[in-house]
Amino acid sequence: MVKSMQTAALKYAYFIHAAYQVSEQSPLQEEYPVFPAGYTLVYNIHMKDPGKGKGGLTYCGFLAKSNFSPDTSVTYVLALKGTNNYLDWVDTLDILPSPGPFGNNSGNVVSGFLDIYNHMTFSDPGQFKPKGLLKYIRYSIRYTDMQSDDDVQPMVCTGHGLGGAMATLFAAGDAYTLHPCRSYTYGSPCVGDPAFVSFYNALITTSERYYNLPDLVPTILDAFGYDHVHSGIPLDSLGDPALNWLPDCTHSLNTYMYLLGASPSVINSNCLISDIDDDVMIKKLSFRRRY
């Protein structure tokens, strides 16, 4: 069971990995250095970038659609990456609570995350001009495409870091207005208070939230009254003596992918310890005990 869960989690982590490889703001399908096999790009996703002035946007992911097959139903995947620097959003984040916009019982969510989410947009491939707000993206897809003949929800929401927080908000809103998606997040911070968590957990039945034990991001908002959705699935990069324990490495999506079973080639070279001596091991084991 655990192995099958990790297989699905690794599959959807590769979607986010494809988003991280993009350097252009409005890529065409062929401008993605890598793209998940068996899927076609539908829209690119952007978020508001305060550093670019009014109306400034920055690329943060995509919506993909599975290619037609007579044997399987259509699946859409919303993949959202985090920021290039894993804590870019922390300094300016408004951590005060705001009422969840998903109904009277949706609790409170982090104001800063809600503001980012409310300004996220989607656009056609090759176009930078927004076509609409991300939270309404379902209405731009043919509703008949969203039907499923079995119990598998036809939409998957996946995100890493800040993108995980945005995927969680999208999943909550989508479940409240239409029907729930399947959710896979990696290294996501807390998004809302316990009331929001209860609201989310009651609606989203397939939700796998992976966190690396030494990753700082999942715990960064714990002290402010916020909590995580569903029980998380722990990973532990400190259990591998070859992996660096620096914060940007413990939070890296590549590290999560490796811990989920990807080839060691996905690990960034600066996140590997090339020469492991006794002194390094003592320091690493000492660090591990603090977690």
Q: What pLDDT, in 10s, does the model give residues 209-247?
A: 999 999 999 999 988 999 999 889 999 999 888 898 888
- State the Cα–Cα distance between residues 152 and 156, nearest whole angstrom: 10
Is residue 168 a contact partner of residue 185, using CB atoms and an 8 Å limit?
Answer: yes
- Per mean pLDDT, which of 48-62, 80-94, 122-136, 163-177 is the most reliable? 122-136
List the one residue out of 213, 214, 163 whose CA is nearest residue 191.
Answer: 163
pLDDT of residue 5 exceeding 60, the answer is: no
pLDDT of residue 291 exceeding 50, the answer is: no
Of the candidate ranges 22-31, 34-43, 151-160, 254-263, the one whose mean pLDDT is the lowest: 151-160
* Angle made by CA atoms 115, 117, 121, in degrees to the nearest 5: 120
Q: List, for residues 185-203, the tens digit of each pLDDT value.
A: 999 999 999 999 999 998 8
pLDDT of residue 252 exceeding 80, the answer is: yes
pLDDT of residue 144 exceeding 80, the answer is: no
pLDDT of residue 286 exceeding 50, the answer is: no
Question: Residue 262 — φ and ψ, nearest 5°?
Answer: -70, 160
pLDDT of residue 84 exceeding 70, the answer is: yes
* pLDDT band for position 282 (cuts 50, 70, 90): very low
66 class by beta-carbon count within 10 Å (0-12 exposed, 13-18 middle, 19+ buried): middle
If you average pLDDT over residues 53-81, what whole number do you get? 85
* pLDDT band for position 176 (cuts 50, 70, 90): low
pLDDT of residue 133 exceeding 50, the answer is: yes
What is the pairing mode between strands 121-123 and 76-80? unpaired
pLDDT of residue 102 exceeding 90, the answer is: no
pLDDT of residue 289 exceeding 50, the answer is: no
pLDDT of residue 280 exceeding 80, the answer is: no
pLDDT of residue 288 exceeding 60, the answer is: no
Is residue 64 a contact partner of residue 36, using CB atoms and an 8 Å limit?
Answer: yes
Please, where are the H alpha helices in the chain?
A: 2-20, 111-118, 162-177, 194-203, 247-251, 253-259, 278-289
Burial of 140-156, coded b for 16+ CB within 10 Å and e otherwise, reads: ebeeeebeeeeeebbbb
If you average pLDDT over residues 161-183, what whole number do you get? 85
**CB-side neighbour CA atoms (13 Å) of 25:** 13
pLDDT of residue 287 exceeding 70, the answer is: no
- State the Cα–Cα distance between residues 123 and 44, nearest whole angstrom: 5
pLDDT of residue 83 exceeding 90, the answer is: no
- State the Cα–Cα distance between residues 276 and 57, nearest whole angstrom: 43
Length of the chain: 291
pLDDT reported for residue 54: 66
Mention every residue, 6+ apart, whose C-beta is less than 8 A from residue 204.
171, 172, 175, 180, 181, 183, 229, 230
Q: Is the dihedral of CA 254, 83, 7, 244 positive or negative?
A: positive
pLDDT reported for residue 279: 44
Average pLDDT, rounded, for the chain = 85
